[in-house]
């Protein structure tokens, strides 16, 4: 199949972090990704969904919408929440920065940037956050 997509909506419960990354990994296996690339996608999805659960909704609850699509050249995952948003988006992307230093390492976005080829983060305070992560689909060798 040259192109495909799927959409998933689920409540911001921590148990759904594994569900989200496993579902995306199964969807990604329709393409010729290496096992290492699938693992990288899993980490990126895990971090993005965890951010929505911890930072987007914090103690409150809401829904997370995940959209996944691919073309022959790109595999794209977007994770969107409708939580409190990020006030300083530049600071949020600094490796080691976290609003919860006693619990978190502040490296989730760094992992996403390392493991995916293109990342864009959009956020509005009080409205929510959306992260779009793209992995390039490499042509089959030989």
- Give the shortest CB-64-to-another protein separation in angstroms: 12
Q: Provide the 10 A C-beta neighbour count for residue 95.
A: 13
Binding residues for another protein (CB under 8 A): 14-15, 17-18, 21, 36, 39, 42-43, 46-47, 50, 53-54, 102-105, 107-108, 110-111, 114
Minimum distance from residue 95 beta carbon to another protein (Å): 9
Closer of 5 and 19 to another protein (Cβ): 19
The verdict on whether 37 is a catalytic residue reads no
Half-sphere exposure of 22 (CA within 13 A, CB side): 5
For 100, how many CA atoms within 13 A lie in the half-sphere containing its CB? 9
Does the annotation mark 51 as catalytic? yes
Least Å distance between CB 24 and another protein?
Answer: 13
| Helix or strand (DSSP H, E) at 63 | strand 63-70
Q: Out of 37, 51, 80, 84, pick the active-site residue.
A: 51
Vertex 50 angle, CA 27 and 132, to 5°:
55
Does residue 84 have an active-site annotation?
no
CA distance 92 to 75: 24
Q: Write down the catalytic residue from 16, 21, 37, 47.
A: 47
Nearer to another protein, 2 or 36 (CB): 36
Bridge partners (DSSP) listed for residue 64: 10, 81
**Active centre residues (catalytic):** 47, 51, 104
């Amino acid at each position: 199949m040259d192109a495909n997509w799927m959409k998933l909506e689920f409540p911001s419960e921590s148990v759904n972090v594994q569900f989200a990354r496993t579902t995306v990994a199964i969807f990604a296996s329709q393409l010729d990704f290496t096992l290492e690339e699938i693992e990288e996608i899993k980490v990126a999805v895990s971090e993005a969904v965890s951010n929505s659960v911890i930072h987007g909704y914090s103690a409150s609850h809401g829904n997370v919408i995940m959209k996944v699509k691919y073309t022959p050249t790109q595999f794209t995952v977007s994770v969107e929440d409708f939580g409190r948003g990020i006030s300083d988006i530049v600071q949020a992307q600094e490796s080691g920065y976290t609003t919860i230093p006693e619990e978190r390492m502040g490296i989730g976005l760094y992992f996403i940037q390392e493991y995916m080829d293109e990342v864009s983060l959009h956020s509005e305070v009080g409205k929510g956050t959306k992260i779009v992560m793209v992995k390039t689909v490499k042509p089959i060798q030989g």
